[in-house]
A and B are shown apart, each in its own frame.
Chain A
Amino acid sequence: MKTLSKITKHIRSKNAGPFWVTVDLFFKDKDSFFYACKNISNEEVSNILKIKRNHLKRFDIENLKVIKFSFPRKNIQGSRLDRDMHGASFAILFEKLSV
Chain B
Amino acid sequence: MDLKEKLVSSFLAFENHVDIDCQIHDIRTEAIKTFETEGFPSKKDEAWKYTSLNSILKQDYSVFPKQENAIEYSDVKKYFIHDIDTYNIVFIDGKFASHLSQTTHDGIDVCLMSSALNKPKYRLIIENYFNKVATKDSLTSLNTAFAQEGAYIHIPKNKLVNKPIQILHFSTGSEVALMQQPRNLIVVDENSHVQIIERHQSLSNNPVLTNSVTEIFGNKRAIIDYYKIQNDNVNASLIDNTFVNQKRESHVSVHTFSFGGKLTRNNLNFYQNGEHMDSTLNGVTIIGDKQHVDHNTLVHHIEPNCESHQDYKGIFNDSATGVFNGKVIVNKEAQKTNAFQSNNNILLSDKATINSKPQLEIFADDVKCSHGCTIGQLDDSAMFYLRSRGIPEKEAKALLMYAFANNVLESVKIPELKKRINGLIANKLGVNIGFDL
A and B pair up: no
Chain B residues at the A interface, C-beta cutoff of 8 Å: none
